[in-house]
Amino acid sequence: MPRSDEGKATPETVHDLVIIGGGINGCGIARDAAGRGLSVALFEKGDLAGATSSASTKLFHGGLRYLEFFEFRLVREALMERETLLRAMPHISWPMRFILPYHEDMRFESDTPTSKLLSRLMPWMKGRRPAWLIRLGLFLYDNLGGRKILAATATRALAATPEGAPLQDRFAKAYEYSDCWVEDARLVVLNARDAEARGARIHTRAEVTSATALVDGSWQITVKTESETKTVRAKMLVNAAGPWVGDVIHAKLRLNSRENVRLVRGSHIVTRKLYDHDKCYFFQGTDGRIIFAIPYEQDFTLIGTTDAEHDDPSRAPVCTDEERDYLCDFASAYFAQPVTAADVVWTYSGVRPLYDDGASSATAATRDYTLKIDRSAGAPVLNIFGGKITTYRRLAESALEKIGTVLPVAKGAWTAGVALPGGDFAHDGVPALVAGLQRDYPFLSDFWARRLVRAYGTQARTILGGAKTADDLGQDFGATLTQAEVTWLMTREYAHSAEDVLWRRSKLGLRLDQAQVAVLDDWMARNRLNAGTEAGNLKV
C-alpha cells in the first residue's frame, strides 16, 4: 500500500474503471470515460494496437457486403460514423473512391440470407448477382447513413480510363462509390493520448495477471510489468482484450460465463505498386467472397482480406502461403498483369474477436459488437465482443451506457466531432498543411512533408520545432525518420521499440533495411530511460 512521507498508510486509490486491453475498443472507451470525469486506468500487456487493431484493412467503411446478411443496423451506424470520424481526424482518415467492376459471373456466398432468398425467388440465376441488385445495394449504401462530404455512387465505363487500364478487357463497366481510409494503429494511439490528456492513466507492457472480487463489490487487480508486480483497485472492470477476451473471462477473472468469442483470422498482402491512380478496387469472386486492392503508403498496393478460423489466441496469426496465393489468384482474375508471390513485399494477419453467434462460417459470423455486464463474481465486469474499427466510437458510447447502470456518470455523450490530437483542421485541409510545412521548412521533400501531416496533423510543427535544416532534427535513421520524431514517439506516443515505431506508429518498416532497424532499436534502448518510457514503472 502506498505510504506518505511521514510513514503513515494512505488510502489505496480506487479507480472507477480499469480497462484491460489497449486496442481500439479499450482506448476508445478510456477516452470517452475520462472525458466524462471517470477515473480510468488502462493496462495493455504489449504495445498499443499490438494485435487486431493494427492488422485491419485500414478502412472506415459501412461494410457493403454486410447488406447481404441484412445487418442494416450495423451498416447504417457505420455509414453515419464515417463523416463524423472524417471531421475528427482528417490527418489520419480521408475519403476514397472504390471501383467495383461488374461482370455476369459475380456470385453470392451460398449461405447469406440474400442468396437463400434469391435462390427461391430467382432460381435460374444460380447464385449470380444481377446488376440491378448491386445497384440497389449501392443506393442503400448511399442513403442509409446520410452523406455531406462523400460523393455518391456513379456508373463508369472502363474503356480508355485510368481505372480500366490495369484491368482485363472483359470488364467494361464498373460502379464507383465512396468509403474512407484510416491509419488504424495511429487511431488507437491518438485515442490513448487524448484519454491521458483527460486524466486517464495508460500503461503499456503491463499485463493483468488476475483479478479478485472483494467483499465491498470492487476488484483487486494484479498487474505485472518487466520490473514489478502491483495491485490496483477498481469499482468496475472493462474486458476489452480483443482475441484474449475469453482468456480474461475464464483464466484471469475465473468466471463461469456462457458467452463465447469466435476468432477469425484475416490476412493481407502488400505488393509493389500495381497501378498509378489513387482509387481502390472492390473485387468479387466466383466463390461469393470479396477482396480490396488499395493504394498503400504511396509506393505499394494492399490486398485483402481472407476469413479463416483461428483456434488459439496465443498462436500468433500469420498469412499462410495458401492465403497469400489465394489473394494473388483472386486479384489476378481482375488485373491484366497477374499478381504473383514475387510481387509481395510484406504480409500481415490479425485475429478478429467476433461474438460467437453460431454462424456456419467465418465469413458469415456477425461483425456487430456485443456488450455484456457480468456480476457473477460479486463485482461488475463489462465484456466487449466483436466490433468494427469504423464503429469504435459508437461502441464506446454504448459501453458508457452500460457502465452508467453501475457507476454514476454525470456527463453525457461528447466525442462526436471532437478532434483527436493533431486533427484540429478542416476535413479537406491536408494540402494546405503540407504546403505550409514546405514553405516554413524548405528542407522537407514532398514525401516527407506529406508523411508528417498524415501522421501528426497540426502537431507536425511541434515535432519540427525551430529546425532550419534536416541536421537540426538530430540523427537520421533513414526514410525521413529523425531523432526528433522518434523522441516524440517515445515521450508522447508510448513507443518502446523499433517495431512500435516502424510498424504501428508508421509503416516505415517497408523502407528501412535490417541494418537501419538495428541502429534505431539500439538508439531507442539507450535513450529509453532518459525519455521516461522505461516499462515497469507503474504510477497507478
Confidence band for 122, pLDDT divided at 50, 70 and 90: low
Give the pLDDT of residue 518.
98
User: What average pLDDT score do residues 229-249 get?
Assistant: 96
Over 80: is that where the pLDDT of 465 sits? yes
| Domain locations in the chain as residue ranges | 14-51+193-260+366-405, 56-184+269-351, 429-533
CATH topology of domain 429-533: Helicase, Ruva Protein; domain 3 (1.10.8)
**The CATH fold of domain 14-51+193-260+366-405:** FAD/NAD(P)-binding domain (3.50.50)
Average pLDDT over residues 46-61: 94
Please state, in angstroms and rounded to a whole number, the distance separating the CA atoms of residues 122 and 21.
Answer: 47
Q: How confident is the prediction for the chain on average, in pLDDT? A: 90
Residue 44 confidence (pLDDT) above 80: yes
- Residue with more model confidence, 37 or 144: 37
Nearest to 345 by CA among 291, 274, 400, 251: 274
Q: Cis peptide before 390, with omega less than 30 degrees from 0?
A: no
| DSSP secondary structure letters along 255-310 | ------EEEEEEEEEEEE---SSS-EEEEE-TTS-EEEEEEETTTEEEEE---EE-
Query: What b-and-e string marks burial along 275-290, b requiring 16 or more CB atoms within 10 Å of the CB?
Result: beeeebbbbbbeebbb
**Model confidence pLDDT, tens digit, residues 266-286:** 999 999 999 999 999 999 887
CA-to-CA dists, residue 455 to 273, 285, 489, angstroms: 21, 34, 11
Q: Is the pLDDT of residue 180 over 90?
A: yes
The residues, ordered by sequence, that sit 6+ positions from 173 with a Cβ below 8 Å of its Cβ are 101, 102, 155, 156, 157, 158
Mean pLDDT of 367-377: 89
pTM: 0.92
| Kind plus residue range of the DSSP H or E element containing 322 | helix 321-332
Cα distance between residue 90 and residue 419, in whole Å: 9
Cβ burial, residue 1 (10 Å; 0-12/13-18/19+): exposed
Q: Average of pLDDT values for 369-373?
A: 92
H or E element in which residue 179 lies: strand 173-182
* DSSP 8-state symbol, 361: S
Handedness of CA 73, 77, 78, 83 (dihedral sign): positive
| Domain 56-184+269-351, CATH number (from 3.40.50.300, 2.40.160.40, 3.30.43.10, 3.30.9.10) | 3.30.9.10
Mean pLDDT, to the nearest integer, of 311-335?
Answer: 94
Q: Cα–Cα distance between 83 and 78 in angstroms, integer?
A: 10
Within 472-534, strands assigned E span 476-478, 481-482
| pLDDT tens figures, 337-354 | 999 999 999 999 999 888
Position 537 pLDDT exceeds 60:
no
User: Is pLDDT at 119 greater than 70 in this prediction?
Assistant: no
More confident residue, 287 or 261: 261
Q: Would you state the cell numbers that stand for residue 403, as one nine-digit string?
A: 457502465
If you ran DSSP here, which 8-state letter would residue 52 be given? G
- Residue 6, pLDDT > 50, answer no
Asked whether residue 219 carries a pLDDT value surpassing 60, the answer given is: yes
Give the model's pLDDT for residue 145. Answer: 77
Residues 6+ apart with CB under 8 A from 6: none
DSSP string, 139-155: HHHHHSS--SSSPPPEE
